[in-house]
C-alpha cells in the first residue's frame, strides 16, 4: 500500500476542489487539467474507501480463521491445486520468491495508475466506461471484504510460510503491526485489478503488443498464491465480481442512453398537432411562411406526374 486511507482521502478532496475550479476556466489547458484532477480525485477516493474497508475487516478477527479453513476445505473438495505445493516450489529458489514478494508489494497500485493515465490520454472516448467498471469492481470487492478471511500465510499448521516476512519484504509485518489490511483476503483485489487492466487494454488498444499485458494477471496470480497471501478462491471470486461489474456498467450505460433519448423525444416539435395558430401551411395569425410555401410547391409538383418524379 502506498498511502494510508486518510491521506488518500484528503488528497482526493484537494484535487476535487482544484479540478472543479480549473474546469470553470475557459482556457483549454486548464479544462484538461481540471478533468484530470477530478478523475484522480475519484480514483483516490475509491482507494481510500477500499483501504478503510480492509482496516475494518482487520478488527473482525473472530471467524477469520474459521472462514480461511472453510476456504481450504472447499478447495480440496473442488480438487484445486494446493497453494502449499506452489509456495514450497517457489521457496526452493530465493530469487524467484523474492521477485514474487516484490511483485506483490510494488506493482499492484502503480499498474492501475499507469493504466488509467494511459487510458485517459490515449483513449478518452472509452475512459468513462472502463473507469466506471473499475469503480464498481472495487466497491463489490469492498462489500465482500467486510467478511474477514485470514490469508494462507497465517495458517502455518497447514504448511504455509510467510514468505515476505521471511525475506524482510512484507508490507504487513507480523499480525497487527503492518500498514495494510491483514484479514481482507477474500476477494483478491490484486487479481481483480490485474485481470481488469488486461481485459481493458486488449479490448481498447489496437497495437499488436497489447497481448503482452496478459503477463500482468498471470504474474499477479503466481505472486499472490506463491507467497501465501491469497487462496485460489480469492482470485476466482475477484474474477466473478469483475463479470458482475461489466454487466452492471453496461446496464447502467444502456439505461442512461434510453433516458437521454427519451428526453430528446419529449422535446417540442413544430409538426405536432395543435401547435398551429392558423390554417395549414401558415404561421401565427394565418401568415404564410417560407416553410409552408416550400411544402406546397413540392406537393403540387408530385401531383402533376412526370415533373415531380
Tens-place pLDDT, residues 203-230: 999 999 999 999 999 999 999 999 999 9
52 sits in which H/E element: helix 28-59
Enclosing domain of residue 232: 61-260
Question: Is a pLDDT exceeding 60 seen at residue 104?
Answer: yes
Copy the grid coordinates of residue 305.
406526374
307 domain-assigned: no
Choosing from 59, 75, 109, the residue where a domain stops is 59
Lowest mean per-residue pLDDT among 9-13, 156-160, 164-168? 9-13
Q: Assess if residue 284 is contained within a domain.
A: no
How confident is the model over 270-281, as pLDDT tens digits?
A: 555 554 454 544
Q: How many domains is the chain built from?
A: 2
Dihedral angle over CA of 146, 236, 43, 246, nearest 10: -110
- pLDDT for 308 beyond 80: no
Q: Is residue 273 part of a domain?
A: no
Q: Which residues are CB-neighbours of 62 under 8 A, at least 6 positions away?
A: none
Both 99 and 163 in one domain: the answer is: yes
55 and 126 in a common domain: no
Is the same domain home to 55 and 136? Answer: no
Least confident range of 18-22, 141-145, 160-164, 192-196: 18-22
1 and 45 inside one domain: yes
Asked if the structure places residue 279 within a domain, the reply is: no
**Does residue 211 sit in the same domain as residue 93?**
yes
pLDDT value at 181 more than 70: no
- If asked whether residues 155 and 215 sit together in one domain, one would say yes
Q: Let me know whether 103 and 162 are in one domain.
A: yes
In Å, how far are 26, 31, 39, 70, 152 from 34, measured between CA atoms? 11, 5, 9, 48, 43
Q: How many other CB atoms are there within 10 angstroms of residue 157's CB atom?
A: 6
pLDDT given for residue 188 in this prediction: 93
User: Do the domain assignments include residue 241?
Assistant: yes
Residue at 274 is within a domain:
no
Residues 148, 30 share a domain: no
Q: Are residues 248 and 164 in the same domain?
A: yes
Q: Are residues 174 and 253 in the same domain?
A: yes
Residues 201, 107, single domain; the answer is yes
Under DSSP, the state recorded for 27 is: -
> How would residue 303 be classed by pLDDT, with cut points 50, 70 and 90?
very low
**Closest by CA position to 237, among listed 153, 159, 162, 140:** 140
Judgement on whether residues 67 and 172 belong to the same structural domain of the protein: yes
Amino acid at each position: 500500500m502506498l498511502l494510508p486511507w486518510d491521506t488518500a482521502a484528503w488528497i482526493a478532496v484537494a484535487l476535487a476542489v482544484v479540478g472543479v475550479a480549473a474546469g470553470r476556466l475557459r482556457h483549454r489547458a486548464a479544462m484538461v487539467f481540471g478533468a484530470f484532477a477530478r478523475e484522480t480525485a475519484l480514483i483516490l477516493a475509491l482507494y481510500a474507501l477500499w483501504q478503510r474497508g480492509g482496516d475494518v475487516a482487520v478488527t473482525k478477527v473472530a471467524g477469520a480463521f474459521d472462514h480461511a479453513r472453510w476456504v481450504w476445505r472447499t478447495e480440496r473438495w473442488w480438487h484445486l491445486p494446493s497453494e502449499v505445493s506452489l509456495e514450497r516450489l517457489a521457496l526452493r529458489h530465493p530469487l524467484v520468491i523474492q521477485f514474487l514478494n516484490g511483485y506483490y508489494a510494488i506493482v499492484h497500485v502503480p499498474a492501475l495508475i499507469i493504466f488509467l493515465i494511459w487510458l485517459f490520454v490515449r483513449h478518452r472516448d472509452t475512459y468513462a466506461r472502463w473507469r466506471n467498471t473499475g469503480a464498481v469492481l472495487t466497491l463489490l470487492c469492498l462489500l465482500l471484504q467486510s467478511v474477514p478471511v485470514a490469508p494462507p500465510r497465517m495458517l502455518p499448521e497447514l504448511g504455509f510460510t510467510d514468505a515476505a516476512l521471511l525475506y524482510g519484504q512484507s508490507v504487513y509485518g507480523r499480525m497487527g503491526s503492518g500498514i495494510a489490511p491483514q484479514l481482507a483476503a477474500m476477494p483478491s483485489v490484486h487479481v481483480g485489478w490485474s485481470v481488469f487492466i488486461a481485459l481493458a487494454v486488449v479490448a481498447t488498444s489496437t497495437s499488436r503488443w497489447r497481448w503482452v499485458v496478459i503477463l500482468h494477471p498471470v504474474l499477479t496470480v503466481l505472486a499472490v498464491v506463491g507467497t501465501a497471501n491469497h487462496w485460489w478462491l480469492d482470485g476466482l471470486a475477484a474474477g466473478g465480481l469483475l463479470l458482475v461489474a461489466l454487466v452492471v456498467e453496461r446496464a447502467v450505460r444502456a439505461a442512461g442512453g434510453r433516458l437521454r433519448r427519451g428526453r430528446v423525444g419529449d422535446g417540442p416539435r413544430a409538426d405536432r398537432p395543435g401547435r398551429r395558430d392558423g390554417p395549414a401551411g401558415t404561421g401565427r395569425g394565418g401568415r404564410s411562411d417560407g416553410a409552408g410555401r416550400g411544402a406546397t410547391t413540392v406537393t403540387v409538383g408530385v401531383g402533376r406526374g412526370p415533373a415531380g418524379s
